[in-house]
Chain A
Amino acid sequence: MKRGFSILAIVTALLLSFALYEALIAAPTERTMGDVQRIFYYHVPSAWTAFVLFLINFVASVVFLIRRDTKADILALVTAEVGVVFCTVVLATGPIWARPVWGIWWTWDLRLTLTLVLWLIYVSYLVLRRFSASSQTPVLAAVLAIFGALDVPLVYFSIWFFRTQHPSPVIGGGGSLDPRMAHVLLINWAAFLCLAWLVCWTRYRLEVVEREVEEAQALESLLEDSR
Chain B
Amino acid sequence: MSFFGITRATLTKDVRLEWRSKDAINAMLFFSLLVVVIFSFSFDPTAEESRRIAGGLVWVAFLFAAIVALNQTWARELRNQVLDAYRVSPAPANALFLAKAFGNFIFVTVLEALMTPLFIVFYKLRALGPTWELLPIAALGTWALVVNGTFFAAISLRTRSREIMLPLLLFPISIPALLGMVNATTAILTGEGSARFWIALLVAYDVVFTIACLLLFETVLEAE
Contacts and interface: CB of A to CB of B under 8 A. Distances in A.
Interface of A: 65, 117, 120-121, 123-124, 127-128, 131-133, 135-136, 139-140, 143-144, 146-148, 150-151, 154-155, 157-159, 161
Contacts of A123: 172
A117 B175 contact: yes
Nearest to A140: B155
A158 B159 contact: no
Given A65-B219, A143-B220, A158-B180, A151 B173 contact: yes
A128 B159 contact: yes
Contacts of A158: 175-176, 179-180, 201
B19 interface: no
Contacts of A147: 148, 151, 173, 209, 212
A129 to B, nearest CB: 10
Given A124-B168, A124-B169, A161-B197, A143 B155 contact: yes
A contact patch SS: helix
A146 B211 CA distance: 12
Contacts of B159: 128, 131-133, 140
B78 interface: no
A127 B162 CA distance: 12
Nearest to A147: B173
A146 B223 CA distance: 16
Given A144-B169, A147-B151, A154-B205, 12 more contacts: A121-B172, A127-B168, A127-B169, A139-B220, A144-B155, A146-B216, A147-B212, A148-B173, A151-B175, A154-B177, A157-B176, A159-B179
B168 A136 contact: no
Q: How large is the interface on B (under 10, 10 to 19, 20 to 34, 35 or more residues)?
A: 20 to 34
A154 B216 contact: no
Contact of B201 (A127, A151, A157): A157
19 contacts: A120-B172, A120-B175, A123-B172, A124-B171, A128-B165, A128-B168, A132-B160, A136-B224, A139-B223, A140-B223, A143-B220, A147-B148, A151-B172, A151-B175, A154-B176, A155-B175, A158-B175, A158-B180, A161-B183
B204 interface: yes
Contacts of A146: 212, 216
